Amino acid sequence: MKYIDLTHTFTDNMPVVPGDPATSLKQITTIEKNGYTDHLLTTVMHVGTHLDAPLHMIPGGKYIDEMPVEHFVGPGVVIDVRGKNLIDETVLIGSNVRTGSILLLYTGMSEQFRTDTYNTAYPRISESFAKAVVDAGVKIIGIDMLSPDIEETFPVHKILLSKEVLIIENLTNLESLIGVKNFEVLAFPMKLHAEAAPVRVVARIPN
């Protein structure tokens, strides 16, 4: 098997959604002084590569720890949508999306991570695309950008999460999967009793 990491490294002062509290990852002990190394992490959930559960937008929705573990693994499909300002259901034509798929959208925005452009110039995903993804039986959609929504009412989040289609935001390295026809996605979040959690996302490709 070949493994490709699709996750941004979590560092001190990770970029946050504008208006959210700043993150911090600080070393608080040293081997020389304390006999061991320890770090303190302070963060909201929607930072770096993370996975949204239904509770993020849906009243009474499931917490991330309430999702069955098998939901986090599935056959991967990547669609190259670079250059599109609007991502709609037509991008699914010709893809092998099927029930249980984990669908990854490669926009190229990860190259702008840690810049102001990343927060303001990402493409829009249509509500019709979200509905088509639900109808296709996709269980997770992953994107290499800040959010599937531009509108402050979060219609795409709500369409997907209301049907327990989970959302991975801020992926990276999706270009490594272009042209790969057969791969599996493993996206295990931290087991937190929260509406979202940091997630390590890996593509597994058979030799």
Query: For residue 207, what pLDDT is reported?
Result: 87
* Mean per-residue pLDDT over the chain, rounded: 97
At residue 121, the 3 state secondary structure works out as coil
CATH code at 2-8+45-205: 3.50.30.50
User: In this model, does residue 176 exceed pLDDT 90?
Assistant: yes
For residue range 92-136, what is the model confidence (pLDDT) as tens digits?
Answer: 999 999 999 999 999 999 999 999 999 999 999 999 999 999 999
Instruction: For CA atoms 76, 113, 10, 24, give the dihedral sign.
Output: negative
- Angle formed by the axes of helices 127-136 and 155-162, nearest 10°: 10
With beta carbons less than 8 A apart as the criterion, state whether 148 and 141 touch: yes
72 pLDDT tier (thresholds 50, 70, 90): very high
Give 16's DSSP letter.
Answer: B
Instruction: Provide the residue ranges of all domains of the chain, joining segments of one domain with +.
Output: 2-8+45-205
For residue range 74-88, what is the model confidence (pLDDT) as tens digits?
Answer: 999 999 999 999 999
